[in-house]
Structure 1
Amino acid sequence: MSFSRYAFSVKPQEALLILITLFWGGTFLAVQYAVSLSGPFFFVGLRFATAALAVALLSLNVLRGITWLEVKAGVVIGVAIALGYSLQTWGLQFIPSSKSAFITAMYVPLVPLLQWLCLGRLPGLMSCMGIALGFTGLLLLAGPEDHLLALGKGEIITLASALAIAAEIILISAWAGKVNVRRVTVVQLLTASLVAFFAMIPTGEFVPPLSGGLLWVALGLGIFSAIIQVVMNWAQRSVSPTRATVIYTGEPVWAGVFGRLAGERLPLLALLGGALIVLGVLVSELKLKKHNASLPTPDAEEKP
């Protein structure tokens, strides 16, 4: 047996995940604007309350059949979502959006590790190569002027958010196919909203003045968050956590693009990092196929 050919294919589910990373990358600037008008936990709570309401209104006909498994799955995943987004939003008060995008993307190497520890699933060879390329690209995309990643308060908070996001992806995959997508999404979003609002109490955060700018950003990101969670819950039924994670590494690339449009200028090293991330996504989509070197027999067939 020998490896002699590569096949490249993208599932519709994977194409949708790639698309949401484009929009996802643009949210960093929007969130950074929002935290200039509100505390991080109130904004995240308002954002996900809007998202939960949007999905609930579109799911009234199926909510009556909700099961205990869907409630449990939604609550657990919702807590991970709240931690991931709240910590990331909190961290954006102390560091630039480009550095936040890089540190958040640390969940790339964390997902396969958690997948192995929690689910016992080892990633494939091509996925590992894609993750290695993606992670190397992320190190370059960080664009630090002194080539060092100094972990201050904002960096540590954002790094904790990356761990929560990695857990979210693993949990979604663990329950994918066992729950109704719309019902579990409503529970996830509602839980994330409540956890964020309750987090205001121990942190001493107050309700800010409800300006038009804050409400519009919360509404827009809330609707987008609803779309993201529905797509993730649906797509990860057939897309492995490792493959989904490498696709998500496109997020900081798009964040860099939107940052440039907003006036940021990425150095050459960061552009190289972005290229490596895209290459990592493509490599992860390659599938090695085996061929029998001898003449085929009636029972012989090509195996992936």
Structure 2
Amino acid sequence: MDIIIVTVKLNNYNSTFFGITLNISTKATWFLILVTVLWGATFPLIKSAITTINPNAFVAIRLMIAAITFFPFILHKTPKTTSSILKGALILGLFESLCYICQTMGLQTISSANSAFITAFSVVLVPFISPFFGLAKPTKTDIFASLTCLFGIFILTGAKISHINTGELWSLGCALTYAFSISYLQHITLKIKQNLILLVGFQILFSIPLPVIISFTHPWHITLTPILIIALIFCGSFSTCLTFFLQSKYQNKISINKAALIYAFEPVFATVFAYLINGEAIYKSTIIGGTLVFISFMVSQFSHLFTHIVKNIWQKIYGYILLLS
């Protein structure tokens, strides 16, 4: 019987799995791609589930399931809790609960694909929000990317301001709160090097009260269906519990701009899952608007390369003009 040896080299942060050596940056990239895939799958699942449950009740139960799933992993570590962990978890929990509430409310009236592309505007907002947490400042290219993204969202919403409905506004709110969450997570995990599992656990716990309080402002009309049960378990255990942990552990191993680029693929996965799970149609406005949003991500994340290309093109044009004159 053959034995496959898995070795981990702690001194240089390289890991060898099945003969393939991965450095910590590469591992982080792949785990964050997994996070993005899991996020993408939530959009069509939530879209289907909230037809049988109050949206805020869905968020509350989702977070409770996440807390129950994660609690056994932090029980023995609670004595190591510090004030920095509690403060960071409280802020992250608030951002996450607002993000989930906005996402779920928005999905009541717009398609999974449109919701995902609008929510992904958070990736372009990150360069403008991150300086508040001592991270990189926005460049001219970032500003151009943001304007391109806004135009893409304009196309997605029907190319008329009058057509922007509450669902799209909720999704924009989700994008804003998630941009703050991504930026603050990068900031706090660079400070807290140990016991990140406690940060995740308390983050989940602190994200529960707000949706619970809001959910009781409306009756908890719940009709248990297979899709609701699947959505709650998947969103609670995987796209909340697991993604929180992977983000906290691996996002700070790469630059915030690279992490944002990875998260930019969320609407692509959401559109695919929406078609496969709910059979949602993909319209021209979704393709055109989504393409513009995605281009803005590329421009924002590859700003140095983009600037270099534009500069070279301009120099060549200027050189031809001088020759002709």
C-alpha separation in 2, matches of 1:43 and 1:156:
20
Structure number having the greater helix percentage:
2
Residue 134 of structure 2: aligned partner: 119
Aligned residues of 2:133 and 2:187 also touching (Cα < 8 A):
no
C-alpha separation in 2, matches of 1:218 and 1:79:
20
- Opposite residue 217 of structure 1, the aligned amino acid is A
Residue 258 of structure 1: aligned partner: 273
Unaligned runs of 5+ in 1: 1-8, 289-304
- Which structure would you say has the larger RCO, counting Cα contacts within 8 Å and 6 or more residues apart? 1
* CA displacement 1:241-273 (0-9 Å, x = unmatched): 222112111000111112232423434664466
In the TM superposition, residue 78 of structure 1 has moved relative to its aligned partner by 0.1
C-alpha separation in 2, matches of 1:153 and 1:146:
14
TM normalised by structure 1 equals 0.78
C-alpha separation in 1, matches of 2:31 and 2:80:
27
Secondary structure in structure 2 of the residue aligned to 1:121 = coil
Of the candidates 159, 162, 183, which is equivalent to residue 170 of structure 1?
A: 183
1:124–1:134 CA distance, 2 compared to 1 (3 A): closer
Residue 40 of structure 2: aligned partner: 25
C-alpha separation in 2, matches of 1:265 and 1:161:
23
Aligned residues of 1:102 and 1:138 also touching (Cα < 8 A):
no
Secondary structure in structure 2 of the residue aligned to 1:26 = helix
Give aligned-pair identity as a percent: 27
Aligned residues of 1:55 and 1:182 also touching (Cα < 8 A):
no
Structure 2 residue 75 is matched with structure 1 residue 44: no
Residue 92 of structure 1: aligned partner: 107
Residue 207 of structure 1: aligned partner: 220
C-alpha separation in 2, matches of 1:138 and 1:260:
25
Secondary structure in structure 2 of the residue aligned to 1:237 = helix
In the TM superposition, residue 11 of structure 1 has moved relative to its aligned partner by 2.4
Residue 320 of structure 2: aligned partner: none
Residue 153 of structure 1: aligned partner: 166
- Opposite residue 59 of structure 2, the aligned amino acid is V
Structure 2 residue 26 is matched with structure 1 residue 11: yes
What number of residue pairs does the alignment pair up? 275
* CA displacement 1:1-59 (0-9 Å, x = unmatched): xxxxxxxx962112211222122111101011121111111111110111112111123
TM normalised by structure 2 equals 0.74
Q: How does 1:1-304 map to 2 (within 5 A)?
A: 11-122=26-137, 136=148, 140=152, 144=156, 146-148=158-160, 150-179=163-192, 180-201=195-216, 204-209=217-222, 211-213=224-226, 214-224=228-238, 225-261=240-276, 262-267=278-283, 270-271=286-287, 277=294, 280=297, 284=301
Aligned residues of 1:137 and 1:272 also touching (Cα < 8 A):
no
1:216–1:236 CA distance, 2 compared to 1 (3 A): same
1:218–1:253 CA distance, 2 compared to 1 (3 A): same
